[in-house]
Amino acid sequence: MLNKILYNTVLSQTLSPCGKYLVAGNIYSQIAIFDLDRILNPVVELLTSDYNKPKHIHTLESGHQICSLASSEKFLIVGTVNEIYGWDWKNAASSKLSKPSWVIRIPSQSPLEQTDVNSLWLSEDEARLYAGCGDNNVYVFNMEDGKLVSTFKGHTDYIHSVSGKNQQLITASEDGTVKLWDSRTGSSHNKLEPHTNSKVSRPDVGKWMGSAAIGDDWIVCGGGPRVALWHLRSLDAVTVFDIPDHGIHVSFFHDDCVIAGGAAKYLYQLTYSGEVKVELPVSATTVYSVLLSTNPKVLTIAGSSPEIDLCTTFNYRDQVLHFR
């Protein structure tokens, strides 16, 4: 058990819609529910030594790792291997996790196939759930009835991340490409191959793309290649961020800045012109998940560590939560 604690890896996080609970999932099929209310607004007289530990830890019967998490107004959504579960929030926040409200099974070619649900993205209207999977496909499910609506095919290796904006979807894959899709038709209309660009490629780290996000005018992505800012229409690499990482697993936009992390000692807040605005020390040797919320104002950083860093000002680490 000691080894499990020491080698805990948190792959994903999400926040309840009320902002009260932080949820984290690890490789040991455990879901931790942290009471953010208690952590951020402690009553000194009632403070106990375990205030920064989970209020509850649920273990899935399947024994599969928690690959991805998402949150809707009604449900905590959990991506594992071959399956996506939905628990209503009241159940998820209780001391004992009962049966899920629904289960979606990933289509498979063979009963022996093990398909990791590596990334989940819920459309802004919460009508569609997009699952980026280990079988190279993105599956689109109707949240009303759980039925498969569409399958986006085109990647030749597993998908690390999926997200979207303004009816466009963006995916990053182990195959070294970042693809742009029309979320209505499922057709891929553009792609980046950063490893073929000498400004960003790092053959010693690999061609894989760990993360990608889309803004109104820009794409940010990284992986084996350096994290870089690309123009959405011209697909030119406009800014290459010179940070000392050995692989990027997280990259997204926030307040006209780029947040990036991975195999590095810090989580970085970067300006579009390439300056390092903030370097946040992190507990994990590799960061796999960063959650940023404006209500409550909180930034949490998780990865290859049982510790989750929590910041309330986005400039320094306020506290460390313990997933154990």
Cis peptide before 296 (omega within 30 of 0): yes
Residue 294 scores a pLDDT above 80: yes
User: Taking 80 as the threshold, does the pLDDT of residue 110 lie above it?
Assistant: no
The per-residue pLDDT of the chain, averaged, comes to 95
Spatial contact of 137 and 151, defined as CB atoms under 8 Å apart = yes
**Tokens (6 digits) for 200:** 């960003």
pLDDT of residue 7: 77
Give start-end residues of each CATH 2.40.10.480 domain in the chain: 1-108+302-324
Across 113-123, b (16+ Cβ under 10 Å) vs e yields: eebbbbbbbbe
Q: Which CATH architecture has domain 1-108+302-324?
A: Beta Barrel (2.40)
Band (3; pLDDT cuts 50, 70, 90): low
Looking at residue 104, its pLDDT comes to: 97
Q: What is the residue type of 130?
A: Y
Q: Where in the chain is the domain with CATH 2.130.10.10?
A: 116-281
Contact (CB, 8 A) for 280 and 310: no
Which residue's structure tokens are 């009816």? 167
Average pLDDT over residues 73-88: 98
DSSP element (H, E) containing 15: strand 10-15
Residue 173, pLDDT > 70, answer yes
- For 197-246, how does the pLDDT look when each residue is reduced to its tens digit (9 = 90+)? 999 999 999 999 999 999 999 999 999 999 999 999 999 999 999 999 99
* pLDDT reported for residue 196: 98
Alpha helix (H) ranges present in 16-94?
A: 36-40, 89-92
> What does the pLDDT read at residue 112?
80
Share of the chain above pLDDT 90, in %: 87
pLDDT value for 5 = 59
Question: Which residues does residue 231 pair with via DSSP β-bridges, in sequence order?
Answer: 218
Cα 242 from Cα 160, distance rounded (Å): 22
Mean pLDDT on 166-172: 95
Residue 108, pLDDT score:
83
What stretch of H or E contains 3? Answer: helix 2-6
6 band by pLDDT with thresholds 50, 70 and 90: low
Per cent of the chain over pLDDT 70 is 98
Sheet holding 228-231, edge to edge: 209-214, 218-223, 228-231, 237-240
CA atoms within 13 A on the CB side of 242: 4
Confidence of residue 47 (pLDDT cuts 50, 70, 90): confident
Q: How far apart are CA 200 and CA 202, in angstroms?
A: 7
Q: For residues 296 and 15, what is the distance between their CA atoms, to the nearest angstrom? A: 10
Quote the CA–CA distance of 112 and 309 in Å, as a whole number: 37
Class of domain 116-281: mainly beta
Cα separation, 76 vs 15, whole angstroms: 9
